[in-house]
Amino acid sequence: MITDHRPSVGVRRVLFSMALWASAAVALSGCGGSPSPQDPSQVRVLDVVSLLPPDAEGVIVVDVATVRSAPFMARVDEALEPYMNEQSTNMRELLNRIDRVAVAFRHEPTDESGEPLLIVMRGSFRASDLQTFAASQTPGTHREHELRRDGRTVLALASHHTLMFGSDHWVLAALDRLDGLAPPGELSSAVLVDATQRAELGQHTVTYASTVPGDFGLDGVFPVQGNAVSLGAWMDLGESIRMQGFGLFTDDATAAAMATAMREKIAEGQQSAELQAAGFDQLFASANIVANGPVVDVTYSLPSETFERVIIAMLSGFQAFTAAREAAVEEPAGGEAMEGPPATDIYTHP
C-alpha cells in the first residue's frame, strides 16, 4: 500500500540517534549502458545514487543482499514468523529479489508537489509487483514505464531491474535520468556532499548521511540547540558488526558537550537491569565516543552474536507490546469486547 513516508520529527530524532550511535546507513554502485526510453526493459543501469534528486537533504543506501545473508537474519526471520500475514509474506518475497536500495528525502515539503521522498530499488522486478503492492491505486504510464498513483505518490516499474517509489516529481525526474533524457543527478548541497564523503558513501553495507534542520527535535535530550550541521554513519555486517558514525557541529564546544552527554547516556544504560538482561550492556560497552574539534565520532565493534541477541530482545519486546495491545482491544475495562482494527504487525504501515 502507498502511504505517507515523510520523516516526522520523531523519525528524524531516531535517525539522528542512529547516526550518532553509529547504527545507520550507505551505498551502492551500478554500471553504464545505452539509454532506450522507449523500452524500459533496455534502459541503462545507472549508479543508483545518480538517480537521486539533487535537492535531497538526506540519503540512505543499503546493500540488501549483504544484509539478507548476515548470520543473524535466520533468527530474525524465525522471530518474525508469528507475525507474517499475506502482505508481509509478499513483502518478504520481494525483499529476496532486491539487491540494493537507495533512499533520498527532505526534512520538510518545499511546495505542493508531494512528499519529499524517493526510494530506488535495484534487483529483479515484474509487472505483477505493481498489482501486488498497489492494487487499489490508479494505474498509468510515463512514456513506457508502468505506474501506480495515489495522489502525489507514485510506484513505478522503471525496468525489470529498477523499481521506484516516492513523490511523483522525484520519481518522474529519476525516470528521465534513467532514460537518458536528463543528466545523472549530483547532490547540490555542499553540506550533504561533505556528509556523504565523511560517511564513505558506497563503501560499506549500509550508510546514512543527512543535513540537520534547525528544528530537529532533540533539545532537552541532547544539548544540540540548533548547532548540529550534518550526520552520517556506516555499518558493515559479517561475523562481526562494525559501525562508525559522526555528527558535525558548528563549534568545538557543542561537539564536546554532545560527546559528554552521549557518554553519560551510555553510563545510565549500563546501570539498567532490564537492558543488562537484554544484552544491551555489551552493546554499550563497545561504544567509543570522542570529540575531534567540531565533530563527534562514534565507533562500535562487536560480535554478530551480541548484535543478534539485541535484535531478538527488541523483537521480543515488540511481541509483548503487541500481545498486550491485542488483549486491551479484546477485553476493555468493562469486560466487553471492543470492536476495532487488529493490532498492526511489523510490516503494516499505520
How would DSSP label each residue in 323-350?
Answer: HHHHHHHHS-TTSSPPP-PPPP-TT---
3-state secondary structure of 262: helix
Least confident of 31-35, 50-54, 229-233, 334-338: 31-35
In this prediction, residue 290 carries a pLDDT of 96
In this prediction, residue 282 carries a pLDDT of 67
Name the grid cell of 72: 543473524
Cβ(288)–Cβ(299) under 8 Å?
A: yes
In this prediction, residue 36 carries a pLDDT of 35
Question: Residue 327 and residue 260: Cα distance in Å, rounded?
Answer: 42
Residue 208 backbone phi and psi in degrees, to 5: -140, 140
In this prediction, residue 45 carries a pLDDT of 60
Query: Residue 13 pLDDT more than 60?
Result: no
In this prediction, residue 250 carries a pLDDT of 92
Most distant pair of Cα atoms in the chain: their distance = 67
DSSP 8-state assignment for residue 186: -
3-state secondary structure of 131: helix
In this prediction, residue 202 carries a pLDDT of 81
Region 311-318 average pLDDT: 70
Helix, strand, coil share (%) of the chain residues, nearest 5: 35, 25, 40
Region 188-196 average pLDDT: 96
Please list, in sequence order, all residues whose beta carbon lies within 8 angstroms of the beta carbon of residue 57, skipping any fewer than 6 positions away. 105, 106, 107, 116, 189, 192, 210, 211, 213
Name the grid cell of 334: 468493562
Query: Residue 26 pLDDT more than 50?
Result: no
In this prediction, residue 234 carries a pLDDT of 96
- Look over the chain and give the mean of its residue pLDDT values, rounded to a whole number: 76
What's the pLDDT band for 267 if we cut at 50, 70, 90? confident
Region 199-211 average pLDDT: 93
Query: Residue 105 pLDDT more than 70?
Result: yes
What's the pLDDT band for 328 if we cut at 50, 70, 90? confident
Question: Residue 133 and residue 8: Cα distance in Å, rounded?
Answer: 24
CA distances from 184 to 53, 174, 291 (A): 9, 9, 36
In this prediction, residue 273 carries a pLDDT of 77
Query: Residue 6 pLDDT more than 70?
Result: no
What's the pLDDT band for 178 if we cut at 50, 70, 90? very high
The residue that leads in pLDDT, 3 or 322, is 322
Query: Residue 34 pLDDT more than 60?
Result: no
Name the grid cell of 152: 502525489
In this prediction, residue 255 carries a pLDDT of 92
In this prediction, residue 2 carries a pLDDT of 41
Region 247-258 average pLDDT: 92
Q: How many CA atoms lie within 13 A of 242 on its CB side?
A: 6
Please list, in sequence order, all residues whose beta carbon lies within 8 angstroms of the beta carbon of residue 45, skipping any fewer than 6 positions away. 30, 31, 32, 33, 122, 161, 162
DSSP 8-state assignment for residue 126: -
Handedness of CA 220, 224, 225, 226 (dihedral sign): negative
Of 253, 255, 250, the residue nearest 227 (C-alpha) = 250
In this prediction, residue 302 carries a pLDDT of 79
In this prediction, residue 185 carries a pLDDT of 81
Region 29-54 average pLDDT: 56
In this prediction, residue 111 carries a pLDDT of 66
Question: Residue 240 and residue 303: Cα distance in Å, rounded?
Answer: 4
Query: Residue 47 pLDDT more than 90?
Result: no
In this prediction, residue 1 carries a pLDDT of 39
Share of the chain above pLDDT 90, in %: 38
